[in-house]
Amino acid sequence: MKMFITGGAGFIGSNFIRYILTKYPHYSVINYDKLTYAGNLENLKDFERYDNYKFIKGDISNQELVDHLVKDCDIIVHFAAESHVDRSVDAPEDFIKTNILGTFTLLEVARKYNIRFHHISTDEVFGDLLLEDPGQFDEKTAYDPSSPYSAAKASSDHLVRAYHRTYGLPITISNCSNNYGPYQFPEKVIPLFVTNLIEGRKVPLYGDGKNVRDWIHVDDHNAGVDAIIHKGKIGETYCLGADSEKSNKDLTMTILNQMGFGEEMIEFVADRLGHDRRYAINSNKAQAELGWKPVISFEEGIRRTVQWYIANEGWWKNIQSGEYRNYKPEEQQPDQKSDFLI
Ligand code: NAD
Ligand code: TDX
C-alpha cells in the first residue's frame, strides 16, 4: 500500500508513520506536511534513510502539488490540522484555512482520482458533557462544537461525509479522545506540565481543575486507525477512546507524584474561554467491528510518557529554543530523494 499521510511531522502523524513503517515494512509512505510551528522533522529522524519513506514540504491547500503527488497513492490518511484549542481562541483564521479549506482541497483531489480517504478527527466535535452526566459520546451523538478549533474540525467531518454521500468517495472517519505519548508538542497539557516540572517551574491549571478529559495513548489511537484502514466499512465513522476519564487535577497529581513533587507546584490560573467541561468516548462500535481495543493502561502509559520526556530533553529543548526549525533531514542531500523536496 502507498500511503499519502498529511501532517506526518506532527505528534500523532509522526507516531503513525513510525507505527506503519515498523508493522508493514513493505508499505511506502509520503509524509506531506507544511511544517508549521507544530511540525518537527526530528520526530522521524530514524526513518530518514528508509527508501519507502519520503518527506515533502507542502500545504494541504496547494491543490496542484497535492494532485501531482497523490495520483498513484492508494490512500490519503489526513492528520494535518491546526490542533491547539488555546491558539484557536486567540487567532482562529489558520484553523478555518487549514482544517476546513485544506480538507476541502484534499477532498477535491481525492474525488478526481477516487482515492480512499481516512479523516482523523476528534471527540471535541460533539461539544462537552456535564460532570454529573454518566453519558458518553458515540457515533450517533449530535455535533455541538464549542471552540473555533472544534467547529473547524466539525466542518471538515461534514465535508468528508458529504463527499461520500454525494460523490461516492470511499471515506472513513475516526473521532478520537485526548492523545498523549512521545513527541507531543509541549504546549499540550501533559508535555507542558512534565517539562515545566523538569525545569522546576510550576504547572498552570486552568479554572477549578475539575474539567475531565478521556485519555488514550497515541499508539492505541494509531492501532485503531490501522484497523479502520484495513477493516473499516466505507462511509462509516468510528469513535476511538480508552475509557480513561481523569479530571485535570487528578491528571496533574499523577504527574506530580510520579516526578516526586507535591501540590504546591500547582498554580491555578484563569480558565480557558468556552472551556469544555467533560469528554468521554464510547468505542464499543470500533471494538466490536474491527477487533481493536486499547491495550495501554493510563497508569503504564503516563509512566512511560513521563520517562520519555525525561530521557529526551534535547528534543523539547530544541523546541523551546526554536532550534528544531533549522533541522535538515538527510533526504535533503542532493543525491538522495531530492526530487521529492519542494
Ligand atoms: P499537531 O499539531 O501535533 O500536528 C499537526 C501537523 O499538521 C503538523 O506537523 C503541522 O505542520 C501540520 N500542518 C498544519 N497545517 C498544515 C497545512 N496547512 N498543510 C500541511 N500540513 C499542515 O497535531 P496532532 O495532535 O498530531 O493532531 C493530528 C490530528 O489528530 C489533527 O487532525 C487533530 O485534530 C486530531 N486529533 C488530535 C488529538 C490530540 O489529542 N492531539 C485527539 C483527537 C484528534
Ligand atoms: O496549561 C494548561 N493548563 C490546563 O489546565 C493547558 C495547556 C491545558 N489545560 C487543560 C485544558 C484541558 O481541559 O488541560 C486539558 C487538556 O488541554 P490540552 O492539552 O490543550 O488539550 P484539549 O484542549 O483537551 O485538546 C486536545 O485533545 C483533543 C488536543 O489539543 C486536540 O487537538 C484534540 O482534538
Ligand nearest to the CA of 267: 2
pLDDT value at 340 more than 90:
no
339 is catalytic: no
CA of 272 to the centre of ligand 2 (A): 9
Q: What is the pLDDT of residue 328?
A: 86
CA of 188 to the centre of ligand 2 (A): 6
What average pLDDT score do residues 98-106 get? 98
Atom of ligand 1 nearest to the CA of 35: 11
Q: Which of 12, 101, 125 to mutate to test the pocket of ligand 1 (most atoms within 8 A of CB)?
A: 12
What average pLDDT score do residues 30-57 get? 97
Contact 60, 103 (CB under 8 A): yes
pLDDT value at 187 more than 80:
yes
What average pLDDT score do residues 181-191 get? 98
Confidence grade of residue 332 (pLDDT, cut at 50, 70, 90): very low
Q: What is the pLDDT of residue 86?
A: 98
Q: Give the number of other Cβ atoms within 10 Å of residue 230's Cβ.
A: 10
pLDDT value at 331 more than 80:
no
CA–CA separation, 312 and 75 (whole Å): 33
- The reply to whether ligand 1 has any atom less than 6 angstroms from the CB of 316 is no
Please list, in sequence order, all residues whose beta carbon lies within 8 angstroms of the beta carbon of residue 185, skipping any fewer than 6 positions away.
10, 11, 37, 38, 40, 84, 191, 319
Confidence grade of residue 209 (pLDDT, cut at 50, 70, 90): very high
**What ranges do the domains of the chain cover?**
2-326
Atom of ligand 1 nearest to the CA of 98: 18
What average pLDDT score do residues 261-275 get? 98
What average pLDDT score do residues 232-258 get? 98
Phi, psi dihedral angles at 204 (to 5 degrees): -85, 105
What average pLDDT score do residues 61-67 get? 98
74 is catalytic: no
What average pLDDT score do residues 162-172 get? 99
Q: What is the pLDDT of residue 330?
A: 67
* Rounded alpha-carbon distances, angstroms, from residue 237 to 103, 184, 299: 17, 25, 28
Q: What is the pLDDT of residue 134?
A: 87
- The superfamily (CATH) of domain 2-326 is NAD(P)-binding Rossmann-like Domain (3.40.50.720)
pLDDT value at 115 more than 60:
yes
CA–CA separation, 262 and 257 (whole Å): 7
32 is catalytic: no
What average pLDDT score do residues 131-143 get? 95
Task: Look up the pTM and report it.
Answer: 0.97
What average pLDDT score do residues 156-176 get? 99
Q: What is the pLDDT of residue 309?
A: 98
For residue 281, the SS3 value is: strand
Contact 144, 153 (CB under 8 A): no
Q: Which three cell numbers stand for residue 123?
A: 471527540
* Rounded alpha-carbon distances, angstroms, from residue 73 to 67, 113, 132, 298, 306: 10, 10, 47, 36, 37
Q: What is the pLDDT of residue 337?
A: 42
pLDDT value at 336 more than 60:
no
For the stretch 150-160, pLDDT in tens is 999 999 999 99
CA of 81 to the centre of ligand 1 (A): 4
